[in-house]
Structure 1
Amino acid sequence: MKLTILGGGGFRVPLVYGALLRDTHDVRVDEVALHDVDAARLDAVAHILAQLGEGRPEAPTVTATTSLDEALEGADFVFSAIRVGGLDGRTADERVALDLGMLGQETTGPGGLAYGLRTIPVALDVAERVRRLAPDAWVINFTNPAGMITQAMQGVLRDRVVGICDSPIGLGRRAARALGYAPEQTRFGYAGLNHLGWLQTLVVDGRDVLPTLLESPERLLGIEEGRLFGPDWLATIGAIPNEYLYYYYFTRDAVAAIRGSAETRGEFLLDSQTAFYEKVCAAPDSALALWTAARRNRDETYMAEARSEGEARDETDMGEGGYEGVALAIMGAIARGERASMILNVRNRGGLVGLPDDAVVEVPCTVDASGPVPLVPTQLTGHPLGLVQQVKAVEELAIEAAITGSPTIALEAFALHPLVDSVTTAEALLTGYRARIPSLDQVFR
């Protein structure tokens, strides 16, 4: 099978290739095509993959190209992890909002809207090319904001686009282990949107054991979400939120922490990854060792603004397979008919009451040769439902604005986002983003 990776010069591509190396089934990916607009980064990643597969005759062959059509031709699966505007765009996503006193974060709030607006036209072009060059391919989308981009691409490819994220499965695993259960023993009652969901039940042998965890501050403090939100707040809301909900429940704290840092997350990654790729270019024989060290540093500093000074990330969480494991499981289930269960971004189809049927939601699914099938989800009520409805309405406005090139609709999306405090601020955000990010400004031209 042929797997095409869009954003093939990206830092996390070796994680996907490493997962492929661990797949020993007769029916597996044996050809990987990397595509990126940055030839130097493509070359660096190709060196890393070559060293990962060294001495392994079963390792998938790797080709690298800056031609999108060449990469897509004949693909069985397409993994999309593109970053339109690069890390320079991400730093602008963060800084424009922070300068206005708003949350500056890659996928949540105004930064996520700016990222989505400039990415959707590119994602739609990719979808059209997949339809023409690889009509039987499945697209596995990891491009952020994942729910919004997946929904836009489904307008072209329908259900053959599936969005993935490693946050929900990581949350479920941590909650299960906090109670002494193996994750495979449990069923996660998780529902919401990408980066906006809640674990509401944790079922073992037909019994919901999540209340036991919520009643135990000591156990909660043993997992990242317990330390992030605090046992009292989790007990109050009766659920465990996705880590990204920190930016909604503790907005003022998050903004203060980010503004008080020497640099934003995007600025940190821009500096560290620029240095990394330069080192690989200078010493390609050491590419794998350089990548391993840089990856460790990147993982340890993830969401640092939400942790106390000196608090380290959970070692188990960092060591487990994340989105690359989910991607491999999807490909295996579809290609080999191996029934699997996972939390995915898929079309709602009436599953979550109160959301449109064609809205992309993040819910537990089963996957087999026919693709993902959403399970009957744990319903959202109260403030989670209201928040999800509002954010989904904003996402749909952003999709419409990107497709039509309407700055008026884009302004409406910014103004109605729950993390933007006024129409005046929304106007300043849109103006600032258009001035700082050429690829976003081009959407409206």
Structure 2
Amino acid sequence: MKLTVVGGGSTYTPELIDGFARLRDTLPVEELVLVDPAADRLELVGGLARRIFAKQGHPGRITTTADLDAGVADADAVLLQLRVGGQAARQQDETWPLECGCVGQETTGAGGLAKALRTVPVVLDIAERVRRANPDAWIIDFTNPVGIVTRALLQAGHRAVGLCNVAIGFQRKFAALLDVAPHEVHLDHVGLNHLTWETGVRLGGPEGEDVLPRLLAEHGERIAGDLHLPRPLLDRLGVVPSYYLRYYYAHDQVVEELREGPSRAARVAAMERELLTMYGDPELAEKPALLAQRGGAFYSEAAVDLAAALLGGAGSPYQVVNTLNRGTLPFLPDDAVIEVQAAVGANGAVPLPVAPLNPLYAGLVANVTAYEELALDAALRGGRERVFEALLAHPLIGQYAYAETLTDQLIAHNREHLAWA
């Protein structure tokens, strides 16, 4: 089995490598290729990756290359974890929207649209090259904004599934609170990427006992604290929203917080410099503890599980993924991409049935889905008017004066990445 990681020079990669090494019985990788144009980073990450495999006794071979076509040749699955424009572009995404009093964030709002516009054309080019190399290869997308990128891939006919670590993070957190093994926790997880709610927490599988009310009663304060949302709000909702719902439920408070402190991008850039120094230590043969602060917790477990299921291995039969709606949420188009529990196997991901969604959540899901459709159109066809329409449709923006200003700022800050600008 050959797997390729595009964006293999990312500081995330040792987390992924550690999972491949620990879970080799689930996903027996024989060859792992790390592809990245940044030769200096790739050398550091590749060296640590080989040492991790060696220390854990993994027999697989790890190679590195800047040649995408060589890297994806004969690959059974390709994982995408790239960041077009790097942390410098992310820093911009997180700052210029604040000038209008809008959230500055790399996956939602104006910053998220900027990232989508930079990313979609690059990902589609990569996917076409994967298809030419092996039409049967699976593409697993971890590149944000996952929902829009996955929709672009599926709309172009690629064998693709989107992946996010929010659900597995909740699964592990709830398992610890309930004192059970993670595999015993099944989430009723529903929504769009970075716009999801846990409407049930079941023990043993999709038909198991729903213990969410008990979790909220006994551990609501801790859960609310982790989400930076007030406990009474969770009690009123009766569900657990993802952390990203804070950008909607406490928008103005978040804007003030973002204006006060250093951006997440600045903190991550500093962390990355420290991590790359660590990766260069020839004695280091495990992922450093600092990597846990980088983000992407449990990404490796989720990626291994998904790849194993898609490639006919020992992956879990039910997994939270980003895939086509296909009538699952009847108020959305069939070709919308939703994030839900799905049955995953060699033929892809098929969403499990979802209970009718409370209008309190359904309205927001419908709104953001419409934005994502407009965002994808802007990413594919370009043009100032399409960017403006997407921003006007986004519930975190919505006012025409803001949309006009943010459109000009987005184009100005991203001109080098926009072929049409």
For Structure 1 versus Structure 2, the TM-score category normalised by the shorter chain is over 0.9
- Using the size of structure 1 for normalisation, the TM-score is 0.88
Shift in Å, 1:225: 5.8
Shift in Å, 1:436: 2.0
Give the Cα separation in 1 of the matches to 2:319 and 2:129: 28
Residues 219-254 of structure 1: CA deviation (Å, up to 9, x unaligned):
112335666222210111121101111111111111
Residues 21-40 of structure 1: CA deviation (Å, up to 9, x unaligned):
12343961111111112111
Residues 136-165 of structure 1: CA deviation (Å, up to 9, x unaligned):
10011000011110110112234x200111
Shift in Å, 1:378: 3.0
2:211 alignment partner in structure 1 = 209
Shift in Å, 1:272: 2.9
Give the Cα separation in 2 of the matches to 1:260 and 1:433: 22
1:237 alignment partner in structure 2 = 237
- Paired residues in the alignment total 417
Q: Give unpaired runs (5+ residues) of structure 1.
A: 303-317
Q: Give unpaired runs (5+ residues) of structure 2.
A: none
Give the Cα separation in 2 of the matches to 1:96 and 1:24: 44
**One-letter amino acid of the counterpart of residue 64, structure 1:** T
Give the Cα separation in 2 of the matches to 1:83 and 1:333: 26
Task: Choose which of 308, 323, 339 in structure 2 pairs with 1:362.
Answer: 339
**One-letter amino acid of the counterpart of residue 344, structure 1:** V
Shift in Å, 1:391: 0.7
1:253 alignment partner in structure 2 = 253
CA contact (8 A) 1:16 1:324 kept: yes
Give the Cα separation in 2 of the matches to 1:423 and 1:170: 37
CA contact (8 A) 2:26 2:305 kept: no
Give the Cα separation in 1 of the matches to 2:163 and 2:156: 18
Rate the CA distance shift 1:327–1:18 in 2: closer, same or farther, 3 A. Answer: same
**One-letter amino acid of the counterpart of residue 288, structure 2:** T
Give the Cα separation in 2 of the matches to 1:43 and 1:337: 31
Aligned Cα root-mean-square deviation (Å): 2.2
CA contact (8 A) 2:221 2:231 kept: yes
Aligned ranges 1:66-215 → 2 under 5 Å: 66-158=66-158, 160-204=159-203, 206-214=208-216
Shift in Å, 1:101: 1.7
Aligned ranges 1:296-375 → 2 under 5 Å: 296-298=292-294, 322-338=298-314, 339-375=316-352
- Using the size of structure 2 for normalisation, the TM-score is 0.92
Aligned ranges 1:216-235 → 2 under 5 Å: 216=217, 218-223=218-223, 228-235=228-235
**One-letter amino acid of the counterpart of residue 192, structure 1:** G
Give the Cα separation in 2 of the matches to 1:178 and 1:27: 29
Shift in Å, 1:327: 1.0
Shift in Å, 1:177: 4.2
Shift in Å, 1:414: 0.8
Residues 182-222 of structure 1: CA deviation (Å, up to 9, x unaligned):
443343211000110111122346433222333x2x51123
Give the Cα separation in 2 of the matches to 1:272 and 1:26: 31
Shift in Å, 1:57: 5.2
Secondary structure class of the residue paired with 1:377: coil
1:382 alignment partner in structure 2 = 359
Shift in Å, 1:424: 1.6
Deviates more, 1:374-383 or 1:249-258: 374-383
